[in-house]
Amino acid sequence: MGAPESESPAAVQQQNEWANGFWDCFSPAGTCFWGCCLPCCLFGKTQSRLDDPQLKEYSYMNGNCCLYYLTAQVGFHWVLLMIRRGEIRQRFGIEGSGVGDCCSSYWCPCCVIMQHEKEIEAQSERPQTGYQAPTGMAYAPQ
């Protein structure tokens, strides 16, 4: 048996926390209203924000809104939320598990929708920086 191989820095992914807590549902009031009264519209907005953070081509009645509405009519909206929650966690490197996604989506879908919206909004406001070359390594000409 050899020594365990160490993970390369590229393979280690930083684990982040959600920008807003699961129970931080009551602010802002607009998000709370949409999440409680018209969750299908907020779900559609959130999914549109993933593709276009500025929401330039956004409409309240879109495919994701209709998909949420239809799955809610048959009682399976929580499955859709669970899948999306896992995708959001993976995309932004947020800690969690599939079991946690399942439980939160099943027991409080409105809280999940509001947390998704606020998380994606917060992530889209963060500056996106790519690779930054290190400075101070200049060589003098000979």
Alpha carbons 128 and 106: distance in angstroms, whole number: 33
Element (H, E) at 119: helix 109-125
Asked if the model's pLDDT at residue 141 lies above 50, the reply is yes
Query: 111 CB contacts (<8 Å, ≥6 apart)?
Result: 22, 23, 25, 35, 104
Dihedral pair phi/psi, residue 53, rounded to 5°: -55, -25
Q: Which residue has the tokens 């999440």?
A: 35
How long, in residues, is the chain?
Answer: 142
The pLDDT, as a whole number, for residue 57 is 85
Where does residue 59 rank: exposed (0-12), middle (13-18), buried (19+ CB within 10 A)?
Answer: exposed
Residue-wise pLDDT tens digits, 100-123: 999 999 999 999 999 999 999 998
Asked if the model's pLDDT at residue 28 lies above 80, the reply is yes
Local confidence band at 7 (pLDDT 50, 70, 90 cut-offs): very low
Alpha carbon 97 to its chain centroid, in Å, reads 14
Asked if the model's pLDDT at residue 133 lies above 90, the reply is no
Return the bridge partners of 94, or none: 16
The pLDDT, as a whole number, for residue 137 is 61
Domain residue spans of the chain: 29-125
